[in-house]
Amino acid sequence: MIKLLKGNILNVFTGDIYPAEIIIEDGIIKIVRKIKGDFDGILLPGFIDSHTHIESSLMTPSSFAEATIPHGTTAVISDPHEIANVMGLEGIEFMIEDSKRVPLKFFFTAPSCVPATEFETAGARIGANKIKNLLERDEIVALGEMMDFPSVIAENPEAIRKIKAAKKACKPIDGHAPLLSGDDLCKYVEKGISTDHESVYAEEALEKKELGMKIMIREGSSAKNLQELASIGGDFLVSDDMEPGDLIEGHMDAILRKAIEYGIDEAEAVRMVTINPAEHYSLDCGAIAPGRSADIVLVDNLKNFTVKKVFINGELVAKDGEKLFKTMGEKRTPPQGKIRIKGLKSSRLEIQAPGDRARVRVIKVFEGQIITSESVHELPIIDGIIQPLPEDDILKASVIDRYGHGNIGNGFVKGFGIKEGALASTIAHDSHNLIVVGTSTNYMMEAVEILRTGGGLIAVAPDEYMHLKLPVAGLMSHERVNILACKARQLNDFVADMGSSLSNPFMTMSFLSLLVIPQLRLSDKGLFNVEERRFVDPILS
């Protein structure tokens, strides 16, 4: 079937804007011909989010598509390592199959780090042989971010085998190199790592850029790096992790608006979400040009990026913020991903010590960042148990193995601001054990007892609690973005009433256990110093 579109187009190869007609046949652009005419708006290639984790939206791929297509997103490259760490290959298969229910083009990467490190308990293990098989699939366009960068630098045989498998499959290798510099960064790049999305500081991104890495500038719900990195520039704009409340307001269109606000050239910003990722990952979209898929977005201008129409394969799939497509097939919930925590005693959430006071290491979190720091505080000891100091914003934290092995790591955290109560979640990057933060063991136990029956997010305050259920592997829900956004907003408001000033307290908490981002983290096996790559005692001698 032949279709015709007319309008002002942005040529991503030259940066020029001019009126043209586009002839489309069977979803493919056949001819782009300059014409004369006066048209409203500008036709752009469909937006591509080249690095995201769908699970962080709390939605399944099909629900994620319903939320993002009206904002001009026509393709995403998703690393499914969240569900893979819970369920292994079965989880990846679920994501691929669910994505086929919608017109959004989902491309996946083979999760390189399942588990992310050997210092935590995960629900699965994906070795080099399984990675090789995944990379042979058409849906898999790259090797997912090599989060365990110390293993790459040290030439760990298993890590190197995964990298070689990607090279043999002629597929790029995504990176993850927070604060990595100097000779170690050179060793990492030398192995063939092509991208990085973890730069926090401009000089950090510049060093990576000078070594040939392609810079993904991230602007998500928790980590917001666009303003800092805009002056350095980059190759891609990405979301990495976005919550439902933010997706209600926009996706790549919102990131484009910020990019222009922070001084990135308009045409260059568009390239960063179209032709750049398309060429890097060998996708057949990304430009309004012959031979490319007719994935096209009509926006009002290159400042507001208000999306008027969205076409995927030449079909109109959204108009004026409303989806025009139907989600096909039945919803399916994976059979695994259960929470296996039995016979938990409150004493296992305590840190014992002699005397009246103890000097302890405390994890410090920051608004708008996923990096942490280590601080030292003196805490009281009552009946041989180190106590938190909620009045000084020092709370207890525990990570509880959800896979039935019985491991529990305990520590303290500063930055949540909760006056009385607890937060708990089965989203805890990257192994997704059960994580809980609270002002007392009793509140923490109450939160854990509720979550162990099915997973999700929960806030417990005196005499009341609020629970957002996530039945898909304890990570996602089939509900639509507006419903999830409403529930998440109510939950965050509930936590704000508990005293927290964090804009995304649950996402901040979920990164407390991310052992590949500096500086101090907590896993089910204990308190971990990322830079020294070792467990440390919460109590200082």
Contact of 147 with 112, CB cutoff 8 Å: yes
CA nearest neighbour of 86 among 431, 465, 348: 431
SS3 17: strand
275 phi and psi, to 5 degrees? Answer: -70, -35
DSSP 245: H
Which amino acid, one-letter code, is at 415?
G
Q: What is the rounded distance in angstroms from the CA atom of residue 152 to the CA atom of residue 158?
A: 9
The residue ranges of the chain whose pLDDT is under 70 are 335-336
How confident is the model at residue 9, as a pLDDT?
Answer: 98
- Residue partners of 382: CB distance under 8 A and separation at least 6: none
How confident is the model at residue 46, as a pLDDT?
Answer: 98
Neighbours of 157 (CB within 10 A): 10
Contact of 119 with 525, CB cutoff 8 Å: yes
Q: Which tens digits make up the pLDDT trace of 19-55?
A: 999 999 999 999 999 999 999 999 999 999 999 999 9
How confident is the model at residue 335, as a pLDDT?
Answer: 65
- Residue partners of 263: CB distance under 8 A and separation at least 6: 230, 231
Contact of 475 with 82, CB cutoff 8 Å: yes
Q: What is the rounded distance in angstroms from the CA atom of residue 357 to the CA atom of residue 386?
A: 8
How confident is the model at residue 116, as a pLDDT?
Answer: 85
Q: What is the rounded distance in angstroms from the CA atom of residue 313 to the CA atom of residue 445?
A: 51
Could you name the CATH architecture of 46-286? Alpha-Beta Barrel (3.20)
Contact of 404 with 342, CB cutoff 8 Å: yes
SS3 539: strand
- What is the location of CATH 3.20.20.140 in the chain? 46-286
Kindly report whether the global pTM for this prediction surpasses the value 0.85.
yes
Going across the sheet that includes 195-196, the strands are 195-196, 214-218, 236-238
User: What is the signed CA dihedral for 182, 187, 191, 195, rounded to 10 degrees?
Assistant: -20
Which amino acid, one-letter code, is at 20?
A
Q: Which tens digits make up the pLDDT trace of 507-520?
A: 899 999 999 888 99
